[in-house]
């Protein structure tokens, strides 16, 4: 039987889905913990977006400055995964910033 790339991926995915927890209690505990982590991450996302909007409203910088800073990302500024997270938030919410731009247009 010849394994195609898609069949191999499917087999690996099934194997990962079938991985057992060390015990039933551990499975319940980790499921609750993952939910808590996701909630914390959601709250952090909201705070980051709120901070960006408030800074732009106060005139500390323009929305395009956020985009420029994220593209330049110096190592001392943020870790790669942190910058990627903030960049993803920016892409999700950049339309909210249009009203703070003179012509209402954001560069890509």
Within 10 angstroms of residue 94's Cβ, the number of other Cβ atoms is 16
* Residue that has been written with the tokens 């560069």 in this structure: 107
Query: What residues have CB less than 8 Å from 90, skipping those under 6 apart?
Result: 52, 66, 67, 70
104 within 8 A of 98, measured Cβ to Cβ: yes
Kindly report the average pLDDT of the chain as a whole number.
82
Judge whether residue 17 has pLDDT over 90. Answer: no
pTM: 0.66
| Whole-angstrom distance, CA of residue 101 vs CA of residue 83 | 23
Give the residue-averaged pLDDT of 42-54.
Answer: 93
Within 10 angstroms of residue 52's Cβ, the number of other Cβ atoms is 20
């Amino acid at each position: 039987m010849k394994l195609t790339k898609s069949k191999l991926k499917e087999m690996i995915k099934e194997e990962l889905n079938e991985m057992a927890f060390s015990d039933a209690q551990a499975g319940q505990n980790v499921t609750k913990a993952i939910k808590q982590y996701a909630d914390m991450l959601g709250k952090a996302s909201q705070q980051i977006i709120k901070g960006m909007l408030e800074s732009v409203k106060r005139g500390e910088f323009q929305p395009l400055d956020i985009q420029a800073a994220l593209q330049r990302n110096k190592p001392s500024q943020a870790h790669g995964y942190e910058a990627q997270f903030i960049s993803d938030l920016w892409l999700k919410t950049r339309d909210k910033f249009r009203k703070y731009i003179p012509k209402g247009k954001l560069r890509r």
